[in-house]
Amino acid sequence: MARRQIGQEVFTFVADPISHRGALDRLSELIDWSLLDRHLADIYAAAKGEPAWPPLALFRALLLAVWYDLSDVKLAEALEDRASFRRFCGFAAHEPTPERTAFVRFRRELVGRSLDKVLFDEVTRQLKAQAITIKTGTLVDATVISSASARDEEAAWAGHKRRRAIHGFKAHVSADADTALVEELTVTHGNVNDGRAGGVVLPDDPGDVYADSAYRGTAFASAVQSKGGCPRVVQTGVWGRPGGNALRKLRAWNHQVQHVRCRIEKIFGTWKRSYGLRRMRWTGLAKAALQVRLTAIAYNLKRTAVILIPEAA
């Protein structure tokens, strides 16, 4: 199977190339991309009779689509026009770039081979080695994301007592309490209980695990303790004698937990406001999981760059 060769030309700058290094160039230096290329090497996402684009270049392009909230059409157009996009993906200045259908075929291969979790785990492993020094705590929460279509049979309705019900999927996430890097995640139907799914995303040795009141109960507490952690969950009630200080202690406990736990809401806010995850782009649970994991990879790369900049300065 023939594969295209890219990056054969060299970008030229009028001034010192170092002065032209942008945000994408710095992101490109955060991880060893060759380790990802090993997982992608067998993918041949090309129309019949055509040479295939390098899969690592297509994967990097999908990250650009997340960071800049681009459709396949807009992504193909941007790769033609923007030099920074070309450099990040490995295309030289005057080389042809993939058309939108190449991204469709590539995503199909990622889903069919279940590579989204493999790629997420590899990127996260490399970034955690740089950004997380001492593990002190873990944040756990879930967010509902609307389905691409109300006719998506793999989505489900998720109700909420304060908001209208949403037809979609639910991303269950754990993140490091100090760096806010996403460590584990899983995607389920929208009606799956938070507390029951929360144990699935716990990392090893999670430390103190902060979660809201949806994670009350023995199922989540047992999962945390089995991993060697200590559950710190928002409580909604407490037993106490009249005139005692039980209510004051409850409020103090919840305030302390919420003060730490709320950091995970910023992760979801970034995903939905900046990375286009307000709504799924494609139908089906497998494709929803791919979109969420691509978003988490893109977020972790940007977050690690923010963490490491002061050290590099």
What is the CATH classification number for the domain harbouring 264?
Answer: 3.30.420.10
One domain, residues 242 and 289: yes
Asked whether residue 3 is assigned to any structural domain, the reply reads no
Res. 201: pLDDT tops 70: yes
One domain, residues 105 and 70: yes
Asked whether residue 123 is assigned to any structural domain, the reply reads no
- Average pLDDT of 197-215? 95
pLDDT of amino acid 89: 96
One domain, residues 295 and 180: yes
Tell me the sheet residues that pair with 143: 171
pLDDT of amino acid 152: 96
CA 156 to chain centre: 21
CA 215 to chain centre: 22
- Average pLDDT of 241-245? 66
Lowest mean pLDDT across 70-79, 105-114, 234-243: 234-243
Single pTM value for the model: 0.91
pLDDT tier at 28 (50, 70, 90 boundaries)?
very high
Q: Which residue has the higher pLDDT, 172 or 21?
A: 172
Q: Which residue has the higher pLDDT, 176 or 217?
A: 176
One domain, residues 109 and 155: no
One domain, residues 295 and 146: yes
pLDDT of amino acid 47: 77
One domain, residues 95 and 182: no
One domain, residues 171 and 210: yes
pLDDT of amino acid 14: 41
Lowest mean pLDDT across 72-86, 147-161, 241-255: 241-255
Asked whether residue 12 is assigned to any structural domain, the reply reads no
pLDDT tier at 82 (50, 70, 90 boundaries)?
very high
Q: Look over the chain and give the mean of its residue pLDDT values, rounded to a whole number.
A: 90
One domain, residues 308 and 199: yes
pLDDT of amino acid 12: 45
Q: Which residue has the tokens 């004698």?
A: 241
pLDDT of amino acid 2: 64
pLDDT of amino acid 279: 96
One domain, residues 305 and 162: yes
pLDDT tier at 5 (50, 70, 90 boundaries)?
confident
Res. 9: pLDDT tops 60: no
Asked whether residue 119 is assigned to any structural domain, the reply reads no
One domain, residues 70 and 138: no
Q: Domain count of the chain?
A: 2
Res. 18: pLDDT tops 70: no
Element (H, E) at 167: strand 166-176
Amino acid at 43: I
One domain, residues 231 and 146: yes
One domain, residues 91 and 153: no
pLDDT tier at 15 (50, 70, 90 boundaries)?
very low
Residue 204 belongs to domain spanning:
134-312
Q: Which residue has the higher pLDDT, 48 or 158?
A: 158
The residue out of 113, 147, 165 marking a domain boundary is: 113
